[in-house]
Homo-oligomer: A and B are copies of this chain.
Amino acid sequence: MNPPKSEVTPKHAPGENQPGDESPGRENQTMLPELSGNSPSPLSKSTAFDRWLMRTMLNQAGNPEIEVMLWDRSVISTSPVPPRARAVIHNRSTLYKMLIDPSLYFGDGYAQGLIEVEGGLVAFNEAIDHCTHAVDTKHFYRDGVRSSLEWLKRNTIDAARSNIHHHYDIGNDFYQLWLDEQLAYTCAYFADPEMTLEEAQIAKMDHVCRKVGLKSGDTVVEAGCGWGALALHMARYYGAKVRAFNISREQLVYARDRAQREGLSQQVEFVEDDWRNITGNYDAFVSVGMLEHVGLKNYEQLGEVISHCLNPQGRGLIHSIGCNSPRTLDSWTTRRIFPGAHVPSLSEMMQIFEPHKFSVLDVENLRLHYAVTLEHWLQRYEQHVDEVSEMFDEKFIRTWRLYLSASVAAFRSGSLQLFQVVFANGENNKIPWTRANLYAEEQAQSRQGEQT
């Protein structure tokens, strides 16, 4: 799919005056078309200092293949090759704020219409991510320190509830506009790249069920169940008895209602509680897309909860966004999109398993599948943007457009990964001999799923 090329006209008036600035403005020739509209006031000249600041910021970012147009149409780029996309910054205060926290104030500036992007939001973010990747490599230890600071983040039960509410309780109607029909808000598995989003979400659920070796009569606990799609799938197609935990009330209302409608209430219990309060013993532990909200300092506790609830012969699966080396998410994402979120590297994920001597059986990285999943979501989001605008204001629309676009870019560029980790108790010898069974009937299963 193509990311959006044209942006919404900002409500905020661009431009700030800087009398006495006579510097020549344009610094680089641009390959991109001139911005139409938002003509700057003749008084709002950028200073040499403004442009030096912008150049320095681009340099710090690793000289991404972008250019920046300031409010007086002066264009700055440090890219060694023709830029792929352009940001237009409409006033000086936005530029200065970006000095303090580029990620946060770029995001906020974009949301408020004080920044526009030409050439595609995805392409713009890809260009940034590409460079950050190279720059960060030199700062592995700084990243390590930042990652350690993550430990200070408090994801207490109360904080977690508030964080989850922020993102997931903004209306099921909204998510129904652009997710698949079962509302699976996690990476799909395109067993065949031609699958529809609906098919790929079902294929993901089957992939997870096969990885934990689910069979009829098995008991399952699911930590963080979203709108219940996986729990209901395990019950309906695998005959499992599922207890599914979630602290998002809106999601639970939907999930319980669906279980009722589909006659699965006896097989699936949706529990409004935190993963820390999981009790009972189960043949399988699954958690798809919750670890991002757990917080690094709680990983060992999560391992302890699993070690108490997983039967000796049981198997577990954790599906989570991750990254290639320890890092913190950018501040815009953790403040505006996912408060309290952390995406772990594999070494960090091992803090769940290693203290309890779980045996990691299988790790699969589905990064490119998440890029495609997000492309579907972004496309559907844009198709339904008029309906979104009846629910939310322009700032919300732009925030979510940036979030989805930046996420496509992050998975395409390798800034983010998607790990599925399968594990078992360290002394459990009833583990799968090979992984061939995951692939034996992949096509057949996905066809079966299609009929649902």
Contact = CB atoms under 8 A, between A and B. Distances in A.
Interface string A355-386: 11111111111011000000000000000000
Given A362-B364, A440-B439, A434 B355 contact: no
**Oligomer copy total:** 2
Given A426-B133, A427-B130, A350 B346 contact: yes
B191 A436 contact: yes
Interface of A is mostly: mixed
Contacts of A442: 434, 436
A431 interface: yes
A49 interface: no
Contact of A414 (B191, B362, B417, B427): B427
Contacts of A133: 357, 426-427
A350 B347 contact: yes
A439 B434 CA distance: 9
B137 A357 contact: yes
A353 B365 CA distance: 14
A193 B440 CA distance: 17
Interface in A127-162: 130, 133, 136-137, 140
A49 B433 CA distance: 48
A203 to B, nearest CB: 10
Interface in A213-259: none
A435 B364 contact: yes
Contacts of A350: 345-347, 350
Given A133-B426, A325-B354, A360-B363, 13 more contacts: A136-B357, A190-B433, A324-B426, A346-B354, A346-B360, A347-B351, A350-B350, A360-B417, A362-B364, A368-B433, A414-B429, A435-B439, A436-B439
For the complex of A and B, 6 pairs with smallest distance between CB atoms: A363-B363, A347-B350, A325-B354, A414-B426, A436-B439, A347-B347
